[in-house]
């Protein structure tokens, strides 16, 4: 018997173990005549047109599952967001077990309940090209899961026997015949863990997986078990990790040709009506059922070769292709409903990149069908249909509509610029590799289909597009880049302090203290380690405290190494030795500046969320003494009115003098009470989190920084400015406390000085500046008109100074006070009249050469300008008929003019 599958329930319930005659996998069945495992491609879909479960809606099956496991003493959990805020290694929630990785699965943190049951919306984008085509793939799906977390040496919750028994009982409740289910052995590996796994197959369709996670990877040295060349060892925990596919259960209960027909019938009908097509089931039901039945065992090309001869001509092109596109649009728009409602902001990075990928793929497909239903209407339709199960989605409808309208506009702007970009690339290379296509998509947002259309139309080049293009791109951006862990200095320090007790952090217990007494535990290099300290170590965007130890040892930096705080001393540690009693003093003014700015950061992000929307998420922050910055996710520029409203709300919070409370809370309890918004500043490790709460929990975050005890202590908050630092990320600069007062004073002084210069009262400054600006614009227009007149006069004068070189009229002159614009205007007029023109500005060294088209084969304007600019110590370029440039050597303008004239003469003589 295969190791790990010796499950007593199988024998007790009348199962026999067999080996599949096609794939060689072990499987368990009550059908003694069966010789295949039941899974595709060993068996076809038997449930198409003949449902194998009692018919239920998606909502009914979800409730049946959750209620069933509640009856088995499981605690029902609410869904987690589809954006994995509690993880720093993945962006999107890919499985129900992802809710509990890595801290709970490793045993570092207890689970929120044990055992538990959940129906978790998940998103996977690794098979984008398969969506719509295979009949079973989805970008967003609900994974119903029940989980039990066991610890070796402790009381076992339950393990393999109960897991299989629960599954068998649930399938029986849904009407699956006892002989109709097979359990296929399929060892599971993923995310650094492994274990035995059973795939639950009914009617040829895999409905669930039962994973028994009990191994962890060993990356250094030898483990206990080797799987595909990787060593594993037994985990301290062993976990029941199950995944029941909600949409697949619905599909199996309805027996429709595809999973899309089972779960998106209303959206599909709306899309088909909008493009004037009837559902092919009305005319080709037998054909579609046969295609669906075989789609699990054949590739698309195999299907076409087998079935096309018995189908109408071009059936897969004319019937299947548009239908599959409709399926994909229905799938993608439901995925977007969850992504955007859960706070993802489309951008060029992280989860925002993945959202934009799905949006633009959907827009391209809508365009290909000439469907006039806006993408936001389709998403809104899903939200309405999902309201009974996910009422929270409706709260985000207005924001989603605005985001998608903006994204549609940006996509059109991208395409309008894209043709020029592709043309420029095709000038340099005649073939476009996959890497080039990916770069065009990543850098410029150009879909490969669009690139192919442009290349075909302007250069008659057909590009071979990889079928898995979008999946490749999604995979590249699906996980967080691993952080650099190779830091020899940090490793050395960790080893050095390994035996030293953790430092008592007085800055939490005595936030108002300036001085403290401590005992020296160690000194090495230029570091001092104390048993207790007021010095805050750098972290969380807050700089370290500075100050002195024993009166004359300057502390210039402070760092935390595995809970031991190192005080870096300017110079060496001198007289300090182990066991000494010392007195430390922090720079309290600096500390309070940082403290006010840190509390202000929490207040500002609260205000930004109130003004801009619940999607606001901290993307970075840095606190300083005089000003701080906060980066937030947002889909458009912050307006001046919004900036002022954020500032007003922040100061109202300050004036309310609300409590700011900090306390250590058990992680699960913190997540249960406050949700995943506590991870605004990142995901700290550990069973307990330091939770900072403002007022009546208006803002709650896991934060290790120093904070005021009342919002009133922060003082005034001045939002200095906002800027967009990258697509989807807005930065707010602000000052708090004394720094804010100084910033306001500096701005007042600037206004006062400007008013004094203009000799007007300050309150009249805006109107006066606007009047002066309008007058300046009028004067500038008048100046341009006069310069044009002067240029016209100069043109006539220059014509009189033309020289004849082999029958061609040539003008080469230095113009005393001309701008580049003046030179270009005059050169254009003269070349239109048949002159070869070289003009140099005596004022700034600008150079312009213009050649009539009739003379361009003899004299090249770019060649002339290159020679002239080299004399002037500069450079230039252009075309054969028009070129410009310049140089800084104004003392050589006459020499440059003669050099240019010689080039013209030599070209006309050759």
Please give the Cα distance from 840 to 837 (Å, whole number): 10
Question: Residue 762: is its pLDDT beyond 50?
Answer: yes
Q: Identify the residue whose tokens are 């190791």.
A: 3
Lowest mean pLDDT segment, chosen from 55-64, 99-108, 551-560, 698-707: 99-108
Average pLDDT estimate for 699-711:
95
- DSSP secondary structure, 205-222, as one string: EEEEEEEEEEEEE--SS-
Helix axes 820-832, 765-800, angle to 10 degrees: 40
Residues forming a β-bridge with 584: 516, 549
Average pLDDT estimate for 825-850:
92
Of 670, 683, 666, 704, which is closest to residue 109 (Cα–Cα)? 666
Average pLDDT estimate for 568-584:
89
Considering only residues 302 and 297, tell me which one the structure prediction assigns the higher pLDDT. Answer: 302
3-state secondary structure at position 454: helix
Please give the Cα distance from 439 to 446 (Å, whole number): 9
Neighbouring CB atoms inside 10 A of 773's CB total 10
β pairing state of 729-736 and 717-726? antiparallel
For the beta sheet containing 628-633, the strands, ordered from the edge strand earlier in sequence to the opposite edge, are 618-622, 628-633, 729-736, 717-726
Distance linking the first and last C-alpha atoms of the chain: 92
Cβ contacts of 79 within 8 Å, gap of 6 or more? 118, 119, 120, 121, 390
Question: Residue 459: is its pLDDT beyond 70?
Answer: no
CA neighbours closer than 13 Å in the CB half-sphere of residue 356: 26
Question: Residue 427: is its pLDDT beyond 80?
Answer: no
Please give the Cα distance from 411 to 424 (Å, whole number): 20
Residues forming a β-bridge with 837: 811, 850
Please give the Cα distance from 429 to 740 (Å, whole number): 55
Please give the Cα distance from 527 to 290 (Å, whole number): 75
Question: Residue 607: is its pLDDT beyond 50?
Answer: yes
User: What's the pLDDT band for 1 if we cut at 50, 70, 90?
Assistant: very low
Helix and strand numbers, DSSP H then E, in the chain: 26, 33
Cβ contacts of 843 within 8 Å, gap of 6 or more? 816, 817, 818, 819
Cβ contacts of 890 within 8 Å, gap of 6 or more? 842, 844, 845, 872
Average pLDDT estimate for 197-211:
96
Mean pLDDT of the chain: 90
Query: In 143-209, where does DSSP find H-type helix?
Result: 160-173
- DSSP secondary structure, 775-803, as one string: HHHHHHHHHHHHHHHHHHHHHHHHHHT-E
Please give the Cα distance from 430 to 436 (Å, whole number): 12
Question: Residue 485: is its pLDDT beyond 60?
Answer: no
C-beta separation of 224 from 232 below 8 A: yes
What local confidence, expressed as pLDDT, does residue 101 receive? 85
Considering only residues 69 and 463, tell me which one the structure prediction assigns the higher pLDDT. Answer: 69
The reported pTM is: 0.83
β pairing state of 836-841 and 808-815? parallel
Per-residue pLDDT tens digits for 367-424: 999 999 999 999 999 999 999 999 999 999 999 999 999 999 999 988 888 888 887 7
User: What's the pLDDT band for 437 if we cut at 50, 70, 90?
Assistant: confident
C-beta separation of 545 from 535 below 8 A: yes
């Amino acid at each position: 018997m295969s190791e790990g599958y010796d499950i007593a329930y199988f024998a007790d319930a009348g199962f026999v173990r067999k080996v599949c005659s096609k794939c060689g996998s072990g499987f368990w069945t009550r059908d003694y005549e069966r010789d295949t495992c039941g899974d595709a491609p060993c068996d076809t879909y038997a449930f198409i047109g003949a449902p194998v479960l009692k018919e239920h809606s998606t909502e009914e099956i979800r409730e049946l599952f959750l209620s069933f496991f509640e009856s088995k003493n499981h605690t029902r959990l609410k869904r987690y967001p589809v954006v994995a805020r509690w993880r720093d290694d993945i962006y999107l929630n890919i499985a129900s077990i992802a809710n509990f990785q890595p801290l709970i699965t490793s045993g570092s943190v207890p689970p929120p309940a044990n055992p538990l049951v959940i129906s978790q919306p998940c998103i996977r984008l690794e098979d984008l090209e398969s969506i719509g085509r295979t009949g079973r793939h989805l970008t967003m799906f609900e994974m119903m899961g029940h989980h039990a977390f066991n610890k070796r040496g402790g009381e076992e919750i339950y393990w393999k026997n109960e897991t299989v028994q629960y599954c068998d009982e649930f399938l029986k409740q849904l009407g699956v015949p006892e002989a109709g289910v097979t359990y296929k052995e399929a060892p599971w590996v993923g995310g650094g863990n492994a274990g035995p796994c059973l795939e639950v197959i009914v009617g040829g369709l895999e409905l669930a997986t039962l994973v028994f996670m009990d191994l962890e990877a060993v990356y250094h040295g030898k483990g206990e078990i080797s799987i595909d060349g990787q060593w594993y060892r037994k985990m301290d925990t062993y976990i029941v990790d199950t995944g029941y596919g909600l949409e697949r259960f619905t599909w199996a209960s309805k027996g429709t040709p595809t999973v899309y027909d089972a779960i998106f019938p209303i959206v599909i009908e709306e899309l088909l009506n909008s493009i004037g097509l009837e559902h092919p089931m009305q005319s080709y039901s037998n054909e579609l059922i046969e295609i669906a039945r075989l789609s699990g065992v054949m590739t698309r090309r195999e299907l076409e070769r087998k079935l096309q001869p018995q189908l109408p001509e071009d059936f897969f092109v004319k019937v299947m292709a548009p239908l599959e596109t409709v399926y994909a649009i229905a799938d993608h728009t439901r995925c977007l409903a969850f992504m955007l409602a859960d706070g993802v902001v489309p951008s060029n990075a992280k989860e925002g990149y993945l959202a934009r990928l799905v949006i633009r793929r959907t827009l391209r497909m809508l365009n290909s069908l000439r469907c006039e239903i806006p993408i936001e209407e389709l998403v809104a339709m899903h939200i309405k249909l999902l309201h009974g199960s996910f009422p929270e989605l409706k709260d985000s409808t207005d924001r989603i509509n605005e985001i998608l309208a903006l994204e549609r506009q940006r996509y059109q702007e991208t395409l309008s610029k894209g043709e020029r970009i592709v043309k420029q690339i095709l000038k340099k290379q005649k073939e476009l590799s996959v890497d080039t296509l990916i770069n065009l998509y990543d850098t410029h947002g150009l879909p490969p289909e669009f690139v192919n259309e442009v290349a075909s139309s302007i250069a008659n080049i057909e590009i071979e597009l990889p079928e898995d293009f979008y999946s490749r791109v999604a995979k590249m951006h699906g996980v967080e880049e691993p952080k650099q862990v190779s830091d020899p200095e940090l490793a050395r320090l960790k080893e050095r302090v390994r035996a030293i007790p953790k430092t008592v952090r007085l800055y939490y217990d005595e936030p108002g203290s300036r001085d403290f007494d401590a005992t020296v535990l160690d000194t090495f290099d230029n570091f001092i380690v104390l048993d207790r300290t007021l010095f805050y170590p750098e972290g969380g965007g807050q700089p370290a405290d500075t100050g002195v130890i024993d009166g004359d040892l300057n502390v210039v930096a402070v760092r935390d190494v595995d809970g031991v705080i190192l005080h870096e001393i300017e110079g060496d540690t001198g007289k300090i030795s182990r066991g000494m009693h010392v007195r430390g003093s922090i720079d309290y003014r600096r500390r309070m500046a940082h403290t006010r700015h840190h509390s202000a950061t929490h207040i500002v992000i609260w205000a930004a969320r109130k003004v801009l929307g619940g999607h606001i998420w901290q993307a970075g922050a840095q606190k300083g003494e005089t000003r701080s910055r906060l980066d937030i996710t947002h889909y458009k520029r912050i307006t001046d009115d919004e900036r002022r409203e954020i500032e007003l709300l922040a100061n109202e919070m300050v004036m309310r003098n609300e409590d700011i409370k900090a306390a250590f809370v058990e992680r699960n309890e913190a997540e249960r009470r406050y949700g995943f918004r506590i991870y605004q500043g990142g995901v700290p490790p550990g069973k307990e989190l330091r939770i900072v709460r403002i007022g009546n929990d208006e803002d709650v975050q896991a934060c290790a920084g120093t904070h005021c005890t009342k919002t009133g202590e922060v003082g005034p908050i001045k939002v200095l400015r906002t800027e967009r630092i990258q697509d989807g990320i807005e930065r707010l600069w602000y000052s708090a406390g004394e720094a804010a007062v100084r910033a306001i004073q500096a701005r007042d002084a600037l206004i006062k000085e400007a008013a004094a210069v203009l000799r007007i009262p300050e309150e009249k400054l805006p109107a006066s500046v606007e009047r002066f600006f309008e007058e300046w614009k009028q004067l500038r227009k008048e100046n341009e008109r006069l310069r044009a007149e002067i240029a016209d006069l100069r043109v006539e004068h220059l014509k009189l100074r033309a020289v004849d070189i082999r029958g061609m009229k040539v003008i080469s002159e230095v113009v005393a006070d001309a701008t580049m614009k003046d030179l270009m205007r005059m050169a254009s007029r003269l070349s239109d009249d048949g002159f070869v023109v070289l003009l140099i500005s005596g004022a700034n060294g600008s150079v312009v050469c213009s050649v009539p088209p009739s003379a361009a084969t003899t004299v090249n304007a770019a060649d002339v300008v290159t020679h002239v600019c080299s004399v002037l110590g500069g450079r230039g370029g252009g075309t054969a008929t028009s070129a410009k440039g310049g140089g800084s050597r104004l003392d050589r303008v006459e020499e440059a003019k003669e050099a240019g004239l010689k080039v013209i003469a030599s070209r006309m003589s050759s």
